[in-house]
A and B are shown apart, each in its own frame.
Chain A
Amino acid sequence: MAESSAAVRGGAGVEYPTDNYLTHTQGLRSWLFTLDHKRIGVMYLVSVLASFFLGGVLALLIRTELLTPRQTIMGADTYNIIFTLHGAIMIFLFIIPGTPGSLGNFVLPMMLGAKDVAFPRLNLASYYMWVIGAIFALVAIVMGGVDTGWTFYTPYSTTTNTAVIPVVLGIFIIGFSSIFTGINFIVTIHKLRAPGMGWFQMPLMLWGLYATSIIQVLATPVLGITLLLLIAERVLQVGIFSPAYGGDPVLFQHFFWFYSHPAVYIMILPAMGIISEVIPVFSHKHIFGYKAIAYSSIAIAVISFLVWGHHMFVSGMSNMASAIFSALTFAVAIPSAVKVFNWVATMYKGSISLATPMCYALGFLFLFAIGGLTGLFLGSLAVDVHLTDTYFIVAHFHYVMFGGAVMALMAGIHYWWPKITGRMYNERLGQIACLLIFIGFNATFFPQFVAGSQGMPRRYFNYPERFTDYNVFSTIGSYLLGLGFLLVAAYLIHSLFRGRPAPANPWGGATLEWSTPSPPPPENFEEEPVLGDHYDPYDYRGLVYDPRIGGYVQQHPH
């Protein structure tokens, strides 16, 4: 293990380091023009969480409207706009950039032992691309919103008179943000690993981010081209997708899902990376099956490009194509299953602490298992014909995206919060909020599986009376869920002002970011980390808890 600065500081008690990346320079300009990956990560974190808040408020409006089978609080057209904005904001402004932009930016260089990413200016440009895209989305909301659903299916999207073009332009621009981040991460991982860090000494978070970046760089341009074609058709009446101009509406679905299915893995792969860090640290136990987890990330990234057609089994696509897409869809289930087994095996004979990040990680395992297993129903052709476009789909992807990606992001935020802010949050409140979110989540989304298999189509403003109970249950769950997140916001904000100063290594992590003070100095490490021949980011031997500083110190370097 590398020399640990925490050990040097151990025994002195914990003081908030006065010269750190947050205090090194002051003023608004020092943030707006910063090239520090940590500050860009923080700006991303604040921005995506603001988007999450906005998308969440829209979600609660949707659920409130669905409290009764008829009109409850808004008209049908408003409802259609709100569910479209909820989807578009959550997907394009929150989940896709969420983990890579915020936590990825913050921890990737530090985990590599680097001072920054390979292209700091490109990194800042990526953030501003996100901001410009978000402004377009806000402009569209001011212009009355858009009512196509986040999927922008043609010919609906080429004929509706709502603000399709600004939203689509916004997403086009955000695509560049995604590509820039991806390029940056790939180059940084290839070129800036600390001396002595081989590919298989990298923390698994980095394998997750690497696989994510490959998808971002290869798939996002296809979305960009598709959206430009959509604009061309609306503005210039070029016949591409709309049959009215001689186009093919199903072609749009192929193009759209060629990006948007891999995009699902842009959302979940970094989440899997976070879980691969949190579970071993809080089990105080070496990760089980490192190489299997690393390779399965790459396998998922590759196979994810070949399954897009499973969104279109009822579109009239050829039977041969459907069969191939179904088989490949099942193939992508395997690496995910392997990861889950590895995570559970990691806990075997561990020393398991149920600190807040671990609670979220366990919640992730539970919810992601349901999300993944319900995917099997949808991969199976004949069953998908019944379930597609119903609430079963809505429940399935919320279990994967929310139960998977967002729970993991919550685990990651709580895990790295002391490192990012230099403050500890209230542990007890963290656990209570996690439980509240877990219960609220299941109450919201589990009934939707049943409503869907019973035949309730998605995107319904009015619904037949027989689906009332499922919807009422779901809506009550969503309020609980909202309450849980409010509690999280409250104690995290409180911790910024009143939180106990964080030690360098509060959880006993062995990855490099824990060997530098919290918050880290501007260039990440006081001395450049040099790794021994046997560096292992999951070797916790010698890390012991020091009650005087409330964190872990390295006792016997080996």
Chain B
Amino acid sequence: MANMLLGTANGSILGQSGPTFWMPRELSDHASDVDWIFNYILYVSLFFFLLIIVLMTVFVIRYRRRPGQEALSSPTHNLPLEVLWTGVPIILVGTMFFFGFRSYMDLGVIPLNAYEIKVTGQKWKWQFEYPTGYIDEDLHVPMDRPVQLTLTSTDVIHSLFLPNLRIKRDAVPGRYTKIWFRASEAGEFPLMCAEYCGTRHSDMLARLVIHPRGEFEQWLTKASNFLATMPPVEAGQRLYQLRGCKQCHSIDGVAGIGPSLKNLFGHPVQLQSGQTTADENYIRESILEPSSQIVAGFEPVMPRIRLSDAEVGALIAYIKSLSEAGQGVPVGGSTTQPAATQPAA
């Protein structure tokens, strides 16, 4: 075991930024800093560990019990020795404290020009909101620029963990926590939830995408305009995933917290206040004013979600595509009344 430790410790000197035995690839100055402190503590610990184990082993062999041989006499205490082995560790842990503290404080002082991304954790997905108002399920950031994450949660505590940047911060409901980093390399890296949050805790994964210089803005412009560039059905599907619809409304016919969207469009709906048919106007009103018409058997728990007309249009197109009754009907203007009112079954 000691050999294994030593060998690996050497390995971590050789590769500075690549993955080592102990650490994944490092992507920032802060990560190098953390790895340096980690190695410092590792070497000090190894020294004391080997000291203890070697002495222990030597004593066990040298002073093993032999017939007719008594223990030798030696002092039962020795003040200078005891002061030494108390004092030296105090100094060493003092340095460990200092290095860890200095690096931690760097995490606490966020540069003024940092690019802010709002992060919301919810069971069991991450939402990243960019300054344009666009929300994505992955964390996209520019390279070589300080990025500030402002985290919160809508339900239980989650924790955003970026192993390659050596940072982690809890997302706590009802308050905001912050962390920042400056990534120095482009690429795709893992992002995980590190605070236990229930059934699919271990599936609450996302990607950290670091865009090379100048490409982040292009990505953001394109992504923010997906409504204009994508076909409406695809754009609606994307909204369905990004904006939390899928947490309550399934597309496979199984009712969740809300009714399923499968075969909804064009079919009759039993409301608490009577019966209606799910046409464009019904869907639009259900999205924008959720409590105005409650489907029988469900609770009025859906929140009002800010959506533009274009976004509602895309969602309607997507919901139509989930129903045979809606197949082939082009989405577009606000008046497709005749097609929708045709009894489907």
The listed residue (A159, A380, A388) touching B96 by CB distance below 8 A is A380
Which residue of chain A has its CB nearest to the CB of B189? A455
Give the distance in Å from the alpha carbon of A230 to the alpha carbon of B166 in the complex.
33
Among A99-107, A177-185, A368-376, A517-525, the stretch that binds chain B is A368-376
The listed residue (B53, B76, B194) touching A369 by CB distance below 8 A is B53
- Name B22-54 residues within 8 Å CB distance of A: 22-24, 30, 33-34, 37-38, 41-42, 44-45, 48-49, 52-53
Within 8 Å CB of A362, what residues of B?
Answer: 56, 60
B45 touches A338 (CB 8 A): no
For residue A267, CB closer than 8 A to chain B, the reply is: no
Give the distance in Å from the alpha carbon of A292 to the alpha carbon of B80 in the complex.
13
For residue A146, CB closer than 8 A to chain B, the reply is: no
Say how far A312's CB is from chain B's closest CB, in angstroms: 8
Q: Most chain-B CB neighbours within 10 Å: which of A323, A382, A458, A463?
A: A382
The listed residue (B24, B52, B178, B202) touching A463 by CB distance below 8 A is B202
For residue B290, CB closer than 8 A to chain A, the reply is: no
For residue B187, CB closer than 8 A to chain A, the reply is: no
For residue B108, CB closer than 8 A to chain A, the reply is: yes
Give the distance in Å from the alpha carbon of A249 to the alpha carbon of B93 in the complex.
32
Among A203-211, A346-354, A478-486, the stretch that binds chain B is A346-354
B71 touches A540 (CB 8 A): yes
B198 touches A156 (CB 8 A): yes
Give the distance in Å from the alpha carbon of A338 to the alpha carbon of B81 in the complex.
11
A292 touches B82 (CB 8 A): yes
Give the distance in Å from the alpha carbon of A109 to the alpha carbon of B183 in the complex.
62
Which residue of chain A has its CB nearest to the CB of B86? A338
A390 touches B100 (CB 8 A): no
The listed residue (B37, B49, B194, B197) touching A383 by CB distance below 8 A is B37
B173 touches A155 (CB 8 A): yes
A341 touches B159 (CB 8 A): no
For residue B306, CB closer than 8 A to chain A, the reply is: no
Give the distance in Å from the alpha carbon of A289 to the alpha carbon of B96 in the complex.
27
- Name B192-212 residues within 8 Å CB distance of A: 192-203, 205
Q: Contact mask B66-98 → A, CB, 8 Å, 1/0?
A: 100111111111100110011001100110110
Give the distance in Å from the alpha carbon of A501 to the alpha carbon of B132 in the complex.
82
Give the distance in Å from the alpha carbon of A42 to the alpha carbon of B72 in the complex.
37
B65 touches A464 (CB 8 A): no
- Name B97-134 residues within 8 Å CB distance of A: 97, 99-108
The listed residue (B49, B97, B108) touching A370 by CB distance below 8 A is B49
Say how far B297's CB is from chain A's closest CB, in angstroms: 20
A379 touches B77 (CB 8 A): no
The listed residue (A156, A351, A352, A369) touching B197 by CB distance below 8 A is A156
Q: Contact mask A452-472 → B, CB, 8 Å, 1/0?
A: 011101111111100000000
A-B contact count (CB 8 A): 264
Within 8 Å CB of A330, what residues of B?
Answer: 93-94, 96-97
For residue A61, CB closer than 8 A to chain B, the reply is: no
- Name A252-292 residues within 8 Å CB distance of B: 283-292
A376 touches B198 (CB 8 A): no
A341 touches B85 (CB 8 A): yes
Which residue of chain A has its CB nearest to the CB of B46? A373
B64 touches A457 (CB 8 A): no
Give the distance in Å from the alpha carbon of A290 to the alpha carbon of B30 in the complex.
44
- Name A293-350 residues within 8 Å CB distance of B: 313-316, 319, 322-323, 326-327, 330-331, 333-334, 337-338, 340-342, 344-345, 347-350
A340 touches B52 (CB 8 A): yes
Give the distance in Å from the alpha carbon of A450 to the alpha carbon of B5 in the complex.
11
Which residue of chain A has its CB nearest to the CB of B175? A316
Within 8 Å CB of B155, what residues of A?
Answer: 155, 159
Interface size on B, as a range, is 35 or more
For residue A45, CB closer than 8 A to chain B, the reply is: no
For residue A473, CB closer than 8 A to chain B, the reply is: no
Within 8 Å CB of B97, what residues of A?
Answer: 326-327, 330, 379-380
For residue B168, CB closer than 8 A to chain A, the reply is: yes
A347 touches B60 (CB 8 A): yes
For residue B267, CB closer than 8 A to chain A, the reply is: no
Say how far A304's CB is from chain B's closest CB, in angstroms: 16
Which residue of chain B has its CB nearest to the CB of A289? B77
Within 8 Å CB of B49, what residues of A?
Answer: 369-370, 373
Within 8 Å CB of A540, what residues of B?
Answer: 71
Q: Contact mask A493-536 → B, CB, 8 Å, 1/0?
A: 00000000000000000000000000000000000000000000
B100 touches A289 (CB 8 A): no
The listed residue (B96, B159, B172, B198) touching A379 by CB distance below 8 A is B96
A377 touches B70 (CB 8 A): no
For residue A149, CB closer than 8 A to chain B, the reply is: yes
Say how far B262's CB is from chain A's closest CB, in angstroms: 25
Within 8 Å CB of A313, what residues of B?
Answer: 104
> Other than the known A338-B85, A352-B65, what 5 A-B pairs have Cβ atoms closer than 8 Å?
A316-B177, A382-B102, A382-B166, A450-B22, A460-B201
Binding site for A on B (CB under 8 A): 1, 19, 21-24, 30, 33-34, 37-38, 41-42, 44-45, 48-49, 52-53, 55-56, 59-60, 63-66, 69-78, 81-82, 85-86, 89-90, 93-94, 96-97, 99-108, 155-157, 159, 161, 163-164, 166-170, 172-175, 177-178, 190, 192-203, 205
Can you list 9 A-B pairs with a CB-CB distance of less than 8 A? Answer: A80-B201, A285-B74, A316-B172, A334-B93, A376-B41, A382-B107, A386-B38, A389-B194, A464-B205
